[in-house]
Structure 1
């Protein structure tokens, strides 16, 4: 069966190893597919952390409930939508690498910004530390907020979301559940 997910222009086809895919819940795999489509539509060369955040908020109800109040996800989405009409144009053609986290050299990370690849690896590490075989949306959200220099955190902050408070709410909910 042919893969129907479009490739990002001028990038080699991603190496979707079964091992990498097996690390994600079905929901998170859908988030990754949505982020890939968004990157392609935005004309970006790589999936970055803002693409992941956008797809997470749109498709994962658990992620939306992690925010403090119903207006926060809508405000974040508003900033993310502006990305394609001006706000994020300065990001186009630039590789996202905050330098805050170690760069992932996983061959399955082709077509990903270094920060996004590190966030995906961080999501998997978090899931494993909690005794789960697969990473989910909340794991990825925690990994995104851990890199205070990534584009996703920039968007959160511009939307009035404190990444540290978001992390604390998620950690508290994880310890209770």
Structure 2
């Protein structure tokens, strides 16, 4: 009888411990599910600060798989009759159970009224380099006809790159 009572009290204590939440938690985080396995609110930190002609951005955070951080600098090089050209440089670091990784890269995005193009180059430290380039455009041939065309190239490490091309002519009767 005494062992049954001990087991019953232990089960009640375990059940109470699993459904209890820290004091003040509901007021501080009203939209967070209170009966989740971990009663800790996600603590990601994000910032976006103007510096010079551009801005510095970043994120620090964690998931069940590990810790991560990403930071970079973004700037508009020009925005006039030639179109708009944005440049970005970034880096990231991930610490995880299965290993760590570091990435860095840069990106250029250009667009005007008829066309757009992008180039993204990234490198994993002690890994492969990835290059992606794409472009697309729409041109009016006459008042009822327009030509749209686009394509891209993607290359990771060694081997042949992936190339895609698409074109279309539309005519409204």
- Smaller-chain TM-score range? under 0.3
Higher Rg of the two aligned structures? 2
Larger RCO, structures 1/2 (Cα 8 Å, 6+ apart): 1
With structure 1 as the length reference, what TM-score do the two structures score?
0.20
Is the helix fraction higher in 1 or 2?
1
Is the strand fraction higher in 1 or 2?
2
With structure 2 as the length reference, what TM-score do the two structures score?
0.20
